[in-house]
């Protein structure tokens, strides 16, 4: 369901890896350079290093970066930060980094000051789209529609709002003897929710504006428009108590990348480090053994029940490979194949044989060798204890460890995304039928 857009009266009375963005603007071509800018200071007081704390499997800032990149609306995507670790995460997701000065990195520094510094140092940018790192339920279609209000509809600044149905009362100081007063209702004629349009409140997800408006010292000025987002997408994180609530909301309403989960029919899963904990046990007689968690095998069966084929991967360098292949196949009902140092080389043919694309494939790995497959797969995951190089490549990082329920967790994640997609398709059909 598309969000709604409305016009407000005028305020003055009238990387490393490239992002999938539009072509770079050529100055003088007549096309304005549109840049996404995410502010991510390292000195957050509410939650330490909040902007790169893991939320629903990926660093918080990554949700905004993914939505920005996949909107295909920007000539460049930037993160403004003063912190080395935030810079590393930003670059791992393909963003450019603006190292902000100490003058705009203080607790008292405002977003406006930080954006103005960025604009001064990047004169090629004409439209600045400030996307908040703390709004993880933003989708590419939100970004696209809001940008087009400036680039196609002639607005000078656009910000996001959500509709609230809350009655507000005037605050009074305790012990003052003053009486409170209603601010937005008549107590003698309280409206029912369905009879009241509610009020529009900034939800903090995005603030888009032009260079000229920023020169006037404003974020919202000129011809101002608002972009209304539905409540389920209006998530903000300020303090610790917001985190678990936001995580549940993101799992249901967040954007997980360019994938259509309802057609995922194939999942590749690395045995060592994912289905097992990566350890080898030696008996007194010298026999080599590994352990498999029953929660993970149940997760595999959950996928198979929903007609998702699960293929288990074992390295040719694994010392217990030959002994495990037959047993794993028998216990899980999965095909087990041997892969070399670069699993992608062995898996391309399987994907092609099933007439699938990588965006329709799920992949679970746990190390550097899996990076290419983790990047390509539409849905990808690693256990919580995977090395950083694998975590940065995956679209989801499990809370569970390898061999301790991580496969089950990823299976549930895949099925949840399928249900989300089916619900959206159903809603789209309803919306089309009502037009």
pLDDT of 408 reads 95
Helix (H) or strand (E) run with residue 379 in it? strand 379-382
- pLDDT level of residue 27 (50, 70, 90 thresholds): very low
pTM: 0.66
Are 95 and 19 in contact, with CB atoms under 8 Å apart? yes
Q: Which CATH number fits domain 261-422: 3.30.465.10, 3.90.480.20, 3.40.50.1000, 3.20.20.70?
A: 3.40.50.1000
- Per-residue pLDDT for 209 more than 90? yes
What are 356-370's pLDDT values in tens digits?
888 889 999 999 999
What are 35-57's pLDDT values in tens digits?
999 999 987 766 788 999 988 87
User: What whole-number distance in Å separates Cα of residue 426 and Cα of residue 258?
Assistant: 19
Across 186-334, the runs of DSSP E, i.e. the strands, are: 199-210, 224-229, 266-270, 281-282, 288-289, 309-315
pLDDT of 433 reads 52
- Per-residue pLDDT for 348 more than 50? yes
- Per-residue pLDDT for 62 more than 80? yes
- Per-residue pLDDT for 2 more than 90? no
- Per-residue pLDDT for 22 more than 70? no
Q: pLDDT: is 44 or 111 the higher one? A: 111
Average pLDDT score over the chain: 84
What is the signed CA dihedral for 427, 428, 432, 435, rounded to 10 degrees? 60
pLDDT of 330 reads 72
| Candidate list 99, 120, 164, 190, residue with the active-site label | 190
- Per-residue pLDDT for 274 more than 80? yes
- pLDDT level of residue 372 (50, 70, 90 thresholds): very high
Mean pLDDT of 333-344: 89
What are 243-263's pLDDT values in tens digits?
888 888 888 788 887 755 456
Domain boundaries, the chain: 5-23+31-168+197-253, 261-422
pLDDT of 293 reads 84
- Per-residue pLDDT for 5 more than 50? no
- Per-residue pLDDT for 13 more than 80? no
- pLDDT level of residue 282 (50, 70, 90 thresholds): low
pLDDT of 29 reads 41
Tell me if 5-23+31-168+197-253 shares its fold with 261-422: no
- pLDDT level of residue 124 (50, 70, 90 thresholds): very high
pLDDT of 323 reads 63
pLDDT of 24 reads 36
The percentage of the chain sitting over the pLDDT mark of 70, rounded to a whole number, equals 82
Mean pLDDT of 201-213: 96
- Identify the architecture of domain 5-23+31-168+197-253 in CATH: Alpha-Beta Complex (3.90)
Across 122-198, the runs of DSSP E, i.e. the strands, are: 127-131, 157-164
- pLDDT level of residue 422 (50, 70, 90 thresholds): low
What are 92-104's pLDDT values in tens digits?
899 999 999 999 9
Are 274 and 363 in contact, with CB atoms under 8 Å apart? no
User: What whole-number distance in Å separates Cα of residue 401 and Cα of residue 382?
Assistant: 9
Dihedral sign from CA coordinates of 350, 353, 358, 361? negative
pLDDT of 396 reads 87
Q: 3-17, 313-327, 328-342: which has the minimum mean pLDDT?
A: 3-17
Residue positions counted in the chain: 435
41 is catalytic: no
Q: pLDDT: is 256 or 5 the higher one? A: 256
What are 398-420's pLDDT values in tens digits?
989 999 999 999 999 888 887 77
């Amino acid at each position: 369901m598309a969000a709604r857009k409305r016009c407000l009266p005028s305020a003055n009375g009238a990387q490393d890896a490239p992002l999938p963005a539009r072509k770079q603007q050529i100055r003088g071509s007549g096309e304005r350079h549109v840049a996404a800018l995410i502010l991510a200071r390292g000195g957050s007081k509410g939650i330490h290093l909040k902007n790169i704390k893991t939320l629903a499997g990926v660093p918080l800032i990554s949700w905004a970066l993914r939505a920005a990149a996949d909107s295909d609306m920007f000539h460049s995507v930037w993160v403004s930060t003063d912190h080395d670790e935030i810079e590393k995460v930003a670059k791992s997701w393909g963003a450019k980094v603006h190292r902000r000065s100490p003058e705009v990195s203080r607790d008292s520094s405002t977003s406006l000051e930080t954006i103005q510094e960025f604009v001064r140092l990047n004169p090629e940018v004409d439209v600045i789209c400030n996307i908040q790192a703390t709004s993880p339920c933003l989708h590419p279609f939100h970004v696209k529609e809001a940008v087009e209000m400036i680039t196609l509809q002639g607005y000078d600044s656009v910000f996001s709002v959500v509709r609230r149905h809350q009655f507000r009362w005037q605050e009074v100081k305790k012990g003052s003897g003053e009486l409170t007063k209603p601010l937005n209702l008549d107590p003698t004629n309280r409206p029912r929710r369905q009879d009241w349009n509610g009020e529009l409140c900034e939800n903090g997800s995005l603030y888009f504006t032009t260079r000229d408006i920023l020169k006037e010292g404003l974020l919202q000025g000129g011809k101002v428009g608002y972009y209304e987002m539905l409540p389920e997408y209006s998530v903000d994180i300020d303090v610790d108590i917001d985190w678990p609530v936001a995580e549940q909301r993101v799992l249901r309403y967040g954007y997980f990348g360019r994938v259509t989960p309802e057609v995922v029919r194939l999942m590749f899963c690395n045995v060592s480090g994912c289905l097992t904990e990566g350890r080898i046990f030696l008996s007194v007689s010298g026999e080599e053994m590994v352990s498999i968690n029953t929660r993970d095998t149940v997760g595999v069966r959950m996928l198979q029940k929903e007609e998702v084929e699960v293929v288990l991967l074992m390295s040719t360098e694994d010392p217990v490979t030959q002994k495990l292949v037959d047993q794993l196949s028998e216990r899980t009902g999965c095909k087990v194949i041997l892969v070399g140092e670069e699993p992608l080389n062995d898996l391309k043919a399987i994907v092609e044989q099933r007439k699938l694309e990588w965006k329709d494939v799920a992949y679970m790995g746990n190390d550097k060798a899996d990076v290419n497959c983790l990047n390509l797969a539409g849905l990808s995951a690693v256990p919580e204890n995977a090395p950083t190089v694998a975590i940065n490549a995956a679209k989801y990082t499990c809370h569970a460890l390898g061999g301790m329920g991580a496969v089950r967790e990823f299976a549930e994640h895949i099925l949840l995304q399928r249900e989300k997609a089916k619900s959206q398709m159903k809603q789209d059909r309803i919306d089309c039928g009502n037009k």
